[in-house]
Structures are given as structure tokens and as C-alpha cells.
């Protein structure tokens, strides 16, 4: 039985996934809402997108899945996109808000 993986490990793995339009990773954008890990190290990532019609919708889901699968010991990975709560800039990390706001 492998060691139980943690939510932090999952979030750190997803930090490698960068939105090419804004140039920030999905975690610092605040798009990753939760990571649910069961006893068998199956992971369910709950995330949103900054807009419903994102043309990278499918690819972002796949990249998140691929990134989490690289964690040693992880079993199955599922990614769920949710629209509630709706994403807004207040969910992003401070340095992202500052950078997007033109340094304001």
C-alpha cells in the first residue's frame, strides 16, 4: 500500500499547469476549488474556468489530470468542472491580482 497522498501534493502538481492566455498557473489563478483523495489514493479535482466558453476547456482538464498522475502512488484521477461558485478575481492569489491590475 503506497503512502497516502495529500491535498498539498495535488495542488503543487497542478501548479505546473499554466493558462497560456494570462500566463499564470491554475492554482494561483484560484481555479482549483478542491482535491478529494480517498483511501486508495484516487483523486477527484474540483475546478472551474475563468469563463464558460474557454476554448481550452478540454485540454486544461487533461493537463490537470496528467499533472496529478505524475504524483508517485496516485491511483485514478478524475477532474470535475463546476460553475458554482462562479470564479472571480478575488479568488486569485495576491501577486496575480496585482500583476493583472497593471501593478496597482
Partner 1 sequence: MFQVSREFAPPFSLISPFFTVGSLLYLVAMLLLPTFGADSVRYDISVVAWAHLFLLGFVMMIIFGAMAQLVPVVLEVGHFSVDFYYLIWPLLAVGTAFMAVGFAFLPSLLPFGGLMVLVSMLIFLADTILTLKKVERISLTVKTIAVTNAFLLLGILIGFAMSLAIGAGVGVDIEKWLGAHIVMVLGGYVTLTIVGMSMVLLPMFGLSHGFDETPVNRAFKIMSAGVAAYFLGALLDSDSIRFLSLIALFIGTGLYLWQIWLIYKTRARKESDIWFKSMVVGYGSLAIALILAPIALIGRLETLALTATWFLVMGFFTFLINGHLYKIVPFLVWFERYSPLVGKRKVPMLADMVPKKAAEFQFWFTAAGLVTAGVGLLFGSDELFKGGAAFMATGAVFMFYSIRWMINFTEGLED
Q: Where does this chain bind partner 1 (CB under 8 A)?
A: 16-18, 20-23, 50-59, 62-63, 66-67, 86-89, 92, 97, 100-102, 104
Rounded to 5 degrees, what are φ and ψ at 48? Answer: -130, 180
Residue placing its CB nearer to partner 1 in the complex, 22 or 46: 22
Output 39 or 88, the one with its CB closest to partner 1. Answer: 88
Shortest separation between residue 87's beta carbon and partner 1, angstroms = 7
DSSP string, 36-81: EE-TT--EEEEE--SSTT-TTHHHHHHHHHHHHHTSTT---EEEEE
Q: Of the two residues 20 and 72, which places its CB atom closer to partner 1 in the complex?
A: 20
The DSSP secondary-structure symbol of 42 reads -
Amino acid at each position: 500500500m503506497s503512502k497516502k497522498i495529500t491535498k498539498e501534493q495535488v495542488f503543487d502538481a497542478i501548479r505546473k499547469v499554466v493558462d497560456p492566455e494570462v500566463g499564470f498557473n491554475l492554482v494561483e489563478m484560484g481555479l482549483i476549488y478542491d482535491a478529494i483523495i480517498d483511501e486508495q489514493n484516487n483523486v477527484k479535482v474540483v475546478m472551474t474556468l475563468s469563463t464558460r466558453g474557454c476554448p481550452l476547456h478540454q485540454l486544461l482538464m487533461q493537463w490537470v489530470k496528467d499533472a496529478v498522475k505524475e504524483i508517485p502512488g496516485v491511483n485514478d484521477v478524475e477532474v470535475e468542472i463546476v460553475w458554482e461558485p462562479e470564479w472571480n478575481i478575488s479568488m486569485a492569489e495576491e501577486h496575480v491580482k496585482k500583476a493583472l491590475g497593471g501593478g496597482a
